[in-house]
Every structure is written in C-alpha cells, then in structure tokens.
Structure 1
Amino acid sequence: MSFDEWFALSRQVALVIFFLAFVGILFWAYRPKNKDRFEQEARAIIDDHDP
C-alpha cells in the first residue's frame, strides 16, 4: 500500500471512531438513568443564592 492509500484508510477509520464516540456520548447523555442527575445539577445553579 502506498502512503496515499494508508492516508485515505486512516481518515476513514478516524471518521468511524469519532462517529462512534459521538453516538456513545449522545447515548450517555440521553439515558433515562441520567435524567434525575442532570435535573438536580440544573436546579443547583438556579437555587444557589450566594451574592
């Protein structure tokens, strides 16, 4: 394989890896298990009464 072929293959592999990471992060963020935790953290910012 030439350098150009290796370079094209590495770009394709990197695209697949980043896509899978993106889908994994979306899955983690939208899991029902995390909903309560995220809501608590969102309320903590609003409920903080420090001047």
Structure 2
Amino acid sequence: MCGESAEAAHDFAEPQSWVLKHCGKNPSHHTFREVITRPWRTWRRR
C-alpha cells in the first residue's frame, strides 16, 4: 500500500470517487481497504 487515503466521510461515494481517481493516476494500485467505525453504547439493566 502507498499510505495515501481518502478523508473520512459519512457517504461512501466520496471515498469511492477518491479510489477511482487514485487508481487512474496509479495503475499499479489495485487493492484498497474500507475501514468502518460503528459506535456502540451499552448499559447495564438493574
């Protein structure tokens, strides 16, 4: 991996656009990773 990355976004279209542009500029870059963070909140029932 080259170490470059798209900005964090709520909509997948923005990073997807970044990936497609990055691939166009760097044809040897063909593997990407999507990192999803889901916040969880838990509480104990009394």
| TM-score, reference length from structure 1 | 0.31
CA radius of gyration, larger in:
1
Instruction: Flag the structure with more relative contact order, 1 or 2, with Cα contacts below 8 A and sequence separation at least 6.
Output: 2
| TM-score, reference length from structure 2 | 0.34
